[in-house]
Structure 1
Amino acid sequence: MKPSHFLIAITCCLSFPFSSFAQNNAQAKAASLNHIAFYVADLNIASTFYRDFFDLKEIPNPFNDQKHTWFSLGPNSALHIISGAKTKGNYFIEEHLCFSTPSIEIFIKKLKAQKISYMSFNKVINEVTLRPDGVHQLYLQDPDGHWIEVNDAKL
């Protein structure tokens, strides 16, 4: 084999894996949300809250036990509630789950009918925050103290 043919063959062999790797990196997709999971003190109370108040659809839980409830949060995303918290948590409002609703006014009526208090981000009771982008948002806590934002953002 001529030295020039040998160099061409080596160059092709060495460049193939690297060009293949670069192509795979360029085609890689961003990570996507799969699920959110957190502990609750009373699984039945928390499950009822998320199922009935937010109209979340319960989905099969592969553990098939009485310790987990899984809810769909839309295509390819879920909320996993797990029994086991010893007490209610003392959480920061910045650490929250957020749901969007078509009408914040209708959602507030639902809150009032259930006698559930809400507040602005600055924790002013029964006040809604207006973000700079025009989105209205309010905050409430689930039975275990986890913060939930509800807004009227159009995604």
Structure 2
Amino acid sequence: MIEFEYIHHMSLAVRDINRSRVFYSDVLQLKEIERPPFDSVGIWYAIGEQQLHLIQQPQGETLREGNIDSTDGHLAIWVRSYRQTLEWLDQQNVFYEARPHSLAGFAQIYILDPDHNIIELDAPYEE
């Protein structure tokens, strides 16, 4: 039997690493961490104890073109405050789909990164 402990990281394909750095570092304000000197181009971020790995792939089958579709593959990140997250996204002019009373049992916000990777931001319900 495999005894799983936690998710270590998720990787996303991106077309332009510099454009993605602006979004993930400046807009979402994730903390960039050291990445080994692989042959590929990429950036690593810390999200709590887990990591997000962006890998530049200018062409490839894993890159999305469509709009928000919560049934498609996505990265979900738990945030502390639903309201504050919405306020920040508004300040940064990031389009989102808000689901304050989601059937999931918590509030959800869906956004797209510059390459249409879907990011779900989850938070406790707020009144």
TM-score by length of 1: 0.66
Q: Give 2:106's aligned residue.
A: 135
- Tell whether the 8 Å contact from 1:40 to 1:144 is kept in structure 2 after alignment: yes
Distance 1:34 1:106, change over 3 A: same
**1:65–1:153 distance in 2 versus 1, CA, 3 Å:** farther
Question: Structure 1 residue 111: deviation in Å?
Answer: 1.2
Q: 2 CA distance for matches of 1:85 and 1:31?
A: 33
Any idea what SS the aligned residue of 1:117 has? coil
Q: 34, 50, 69: which one pairs with 2:43?
A: 69
**8 Å CA contact retained: 1:47, 1:81:** no
SS at match of 1:51: helix
- Report what 1:89 is aligned to: 64
Gapped regions of structure 1 (runs ≥ 5):
1-24, 120-126
Identity among equivalent positions (%) equals: 27
Q: Equivalent residue for 2:9?
A: 35
Is 1:110 equivalent to 2:88 in the alignment?
yes
Match of 1:151 in 2: 122
Does the 8 Å CA contact 2:79/2:122 hold for their aligned counterparts? yes
TM-score with structure 2 setting the length: 0.79
Paired AA for residue 41 in structure 2: K
Structure in which a larger fraction of residues adopt helix = 1
Task: Give deviations 1:55-107, integer Å, cap 9, x for gaps.
Answer: 211111112667110111222x2111011133852354321111222211111
Cα distance in 2, alignment partners of residues 109 and 74 from structure 1 = 22
5+ unaligned residues in a row in structure 2: which ranges? none
Higher share of residues assigned strand? 2
Question: Does the Cα contact within 8 Å between 2:40 and 2:55 map onto a contact in 1?
Answer: no
Match of 1:124 in 2: none
Larger RCO (CA within 8 A; separation ≥ 6): 2
Residue identity in the other structure for 2:37: F
Please report how far the alpha carbon of residue 53 of structure 1 lies from its aligned counterpart in structure 2 after TM superposition. Answer: 2.4
Relative distance call for 1:110 and 1:65 in structure 2 (3 A) is farther
Aligned pairs, number = 120
**Cα RMSD over matched residues?**
2.5
**SS state at 2:76 partner:** strand
